[in-house]
């Protein structure tokens, strides 16, 4: 089965449409103000409306409070929320009305152990990047990530591009792959050609 493809950090409706046209399964709308890919609720709703019946809408948060997460997800019609900060198991479990993707920074085996029992629909594996919770363009140890599937659905992130995603899929065999900077012209502005090639390479596994 080919992996799901999530295009994250979408800031323009035309990029969402390009991602859907390319065959992506999910788009991520980022509400963390510390990134150039942050969007307002109004802009996010506009983007989501452009592709609502074609892709899953994922609302991305970093250490937001429960009320903000649920209210924002409801306002834009996101059925999935991605938690990319230090959110606890109790916090994730309290979001019963939506599916949760929980991001984990992975450098060694002990990091993978934190996935065990965490209440999430899927686990996103990303690289550490100083003060940045994600979107660093750095790859993680794919051999290490390959062992994470025992905990549940793995959404592989971290420096994935059209040039390396096929190898990543073959090595890790994840449930899905996630990219933001790997398909951009500039932060928050996607490149249609890179989008198309990324999805093609991810879905084919380089075949």
Q: Structurally, how many domains does the chain consist of?
A: 1
The token pair that represents 196 in the structure block: 């198309």
For residue 26, give the CATH number of its domain. Answer: 3.20.20.70
DSSP-derived pairing of the beta strands 189-190 and 184-186: antiparallel
Say whether 126 is catalytic: yes
Q: What are phi and psi of 148, to 5 degrees?
A: -80, -15
Say whether 8 is catalytic: yes
Domain encompassing residue 82: 4-204
pLDDT score of 94: 97
pLDDT score of 186: 95
**Tens digit of each residue's pLDDT (9 = 90 or more) over 13-60:** 999 999 999 999 999 999 999 999 999 999 999 999 999 999 999 999
Q: Which of 15, 25, 38, 126 is catalytic?
A: 126
pLDDT score of 130: 47
Q: Which of 8, 15, 25, 178 is catalytic?
A: 8
The token pair that represents 95 in the structure block: 């979001």
DSSP-derived pairing of the beta strands 99-105 and 122-126: parallel
**Tens digit of each residue's pLDDT (9 = 90 or more) over 90-131:** 999 999 989 999 999 998 888 899 999 999 999 999 986 545
Residues 6+ apart with CB under 8 A from 176: 3, 4, 5, 6, 25, 26, 122, 153, 154, 155, 156
């Amino acid at each position: 089965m080919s992996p799901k493809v999530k295009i994250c950090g979408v800031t323009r409706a035309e990029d969402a449409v390009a991602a859907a046209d390319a065959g992506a399964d999910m788009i991520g709308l980022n509400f963390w103000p510390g990134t150039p890919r942050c969007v307002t609720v109004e802009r996010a709703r506009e983007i989501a409306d452009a592709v609502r019946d074609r892709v899953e809408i994922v609302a991305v948060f970093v250490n937001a409070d429960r009320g903000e997460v649920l209210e924002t997800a409801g306002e834009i019609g996101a059925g999935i929320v991605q938690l990319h900060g230090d959110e606890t198991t109790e916090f994730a479990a309290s979001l019963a009305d939506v599916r949760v993707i929980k991001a984990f920074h992975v450098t060694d085996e002990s990091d993978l152990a934190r996935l065990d029992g965490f209440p999430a629909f899927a686990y996103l594996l990303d690289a550490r990047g100083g003060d940045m919770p994600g979107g660093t363009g750095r790859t993680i140890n794919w051999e290490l990530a390959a062992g994470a599937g025992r905990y549940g659905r793995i959404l592989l992130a971290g420096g994935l591009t059209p040039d390396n995603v096929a190898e990543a899929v073959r090595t890790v065999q994840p449930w899905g792959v996630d990219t933001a900077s790997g398909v951009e012209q500039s932060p928050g502005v996607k490149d249609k050609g890179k989008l198309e090639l990324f999805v093609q390479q991810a879905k084919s596994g380089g075949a």
